[in-house]
Structure 1
Amino acid sequence: MRGRRRLGGVVLGLVLLVAGATAGRAEAYTVGVENLDYLPAYGVRDGAYAGYARDLLDAFAAAEGIDFDYRPLPVPRLYATFLAGQLDFKFPDNANWAAARREGLSIAYSAPLARYVDATLVRPERRGQPVATLGTVSGFTPWAWMARIQSGQVRVLENANFTALVRQALAGRIDAAYANVSVVNRQLDQVLGDPGGLVLDPGQPHDASAYHLSTLHHPEVVGRLDTWMLANADWVAQLKQRHAVEKGFDDLD
């Protein structure tokens, strides 16, 4: 009998020890992110995820006892991996992106983490002029221009990265660049040293929307993120301003 009691005590002790270790362990989730330099919104630099999105999600995770494992993937592979249910979360995401691939899936989206503007940027002297050649970054589709592209009015030239795209527009080898305004402004200000070298042309096609965090598996965590952002709205606004992540919206007015 004593042996049984002693064994029972050992088992109970092990159960309590495991339970205690589990209780002290942070929730751990994988976040699929785009493996590219899209700063200031987000980007992968020297193998590490960085930018506004990293600062925001890390602050939320720290407050909620969560451990986010950021997994950079090429954009096509990121879509396939996330939609196959192999990631806990995807950022950035938007219900309007690749909408046909989402049919039949129950995806939960957070409130907007940041607004963005994809727009037509030109040299200041070309503002308001017709566009015949439009530059983009390889892999990105200028949806706002598709009608004119398909009709043959506009020819698209792709570039390997944002720096190459901005250089091409500055040199006048294309009439305009179609890209994220905050990303282009960072290239102009910090990389190429030519602030204002390209400006948004509000009369040309553009797309203004927002970035969201999405999930197939954890809508309750998305709900917690929404609540946290509301409770820390002033801090989130300051973070957006510090990163200049929403630059471009004022130019559309």
Structure 2
Amino acid sequence: MPLGFTPVNWQARIDEDTTKITWVQDLQQGFALLYQGRVDALDLEYFVAQYASVNTYPNRALVLDLTLPHNEIPFSLSSLSQKDVIQELNAFITSNPDLIKSIRHKYAITPYSQLLNQLIEQQGLKHEEVWK
């Protein structure tokens, strides 16, 4: 688990002593532990994990295990004192749909509902087997 993140979805498993958290300084340290077999999994946002793993370990694919705790975490920006930055970013996104579409394509970012259905099929799961 990267330092600074809270394992909210894993808390029940931690409390039951069925999951142990190993804290890491950065993604590279997490990937190193994973590929050395020193940890069983990484808790990362799906698209960040895919992008980082391809660039760090191009021959080692990661899989989102839908039976483990996970959720969709949309990217967002908030500020109490920089409201103009938020407005500017919102205007930029609204004014540049083609650029946003190309960024989504470049980084293979798909809507969670589409990704979920794709992964359920790939993993041969039923909807009720997906962690909720």
Q: Considering the TM-score relative to the shorter chain, is it more than 0.5? A: yes
Structure 1 residues 209-220: aligned runs within 5 Å: 209-219=73-83
Name the SS for the 1:214 alignment partner. coil
Q: 2:120 — aligned with what?
A: none
1:171 aligns with 2:36: yes
Contact 1:166 1:184 in 2 (8 A): no
Query: What number of residue pairs does the alignment pair up?
Result: 116
Query: With structure 1 as the length reference, what TM-score do the two structures score?
Result: 0.40
Alignment equivalent of 1:184, drawn from 49, 55, 77: 49
Query: With structure 2 as the length reference, what TM-score do the two structures score?
Result: 0.70
Q: Would the alpha carbon gap of residues 248 and 145 (structure 1) be closer, same or farther in structure 2, given more than 3 Å must change? A: farther
Partners of 1:224 and 1:175 in 2: CA distance? 41
Name the SS for the 1:157 alignment partner. coil
Partners of 1:231 and 1:247 in 2: CA distance? 20
Q: Would the alpha carbon gap of residues 199 and 228 (structure 1) be closer, same or farther in structure 2, given more than 3 Å must change? A: same
Q: Between Structure 1 and Structure 2, whose CA radius of gyration is higher?
A: 1
Q: CA deviation at 1:209?
A: 2.2
Q: CA deviation at 1:186?
A: 2.7
After superposition, give the CA deviation of every residue in 1:7-52 in whole Å (9 maximum; x if it has no partner): xxxxxxxxxxxxxxxxxxxxxxxxxxxxxxxxxxxxxxxxxxxxxx
Bigger proportion of residues as helix: 2
Structure 1 residues 21-170: aligned runs within 5 Å: 136-170=1-35
Q: Which has the higher contact order (CA 8 A, sep 6+)?
A: 1
Partners of 1:155 and 1:248 in 2: CA distance? 30
Structure 2 unmatched runs, 5+:
118-132
Name the SS for the 1:140 alignment partner. coil
Bigger proportion of residues as strand: 1
Partners of 1:185 and 1:167 in 2: CA distance? 15
Q: CA deviation at 1:229?
A: 1.9
Contact 1:144 1:206 in 2 (8 A): yes
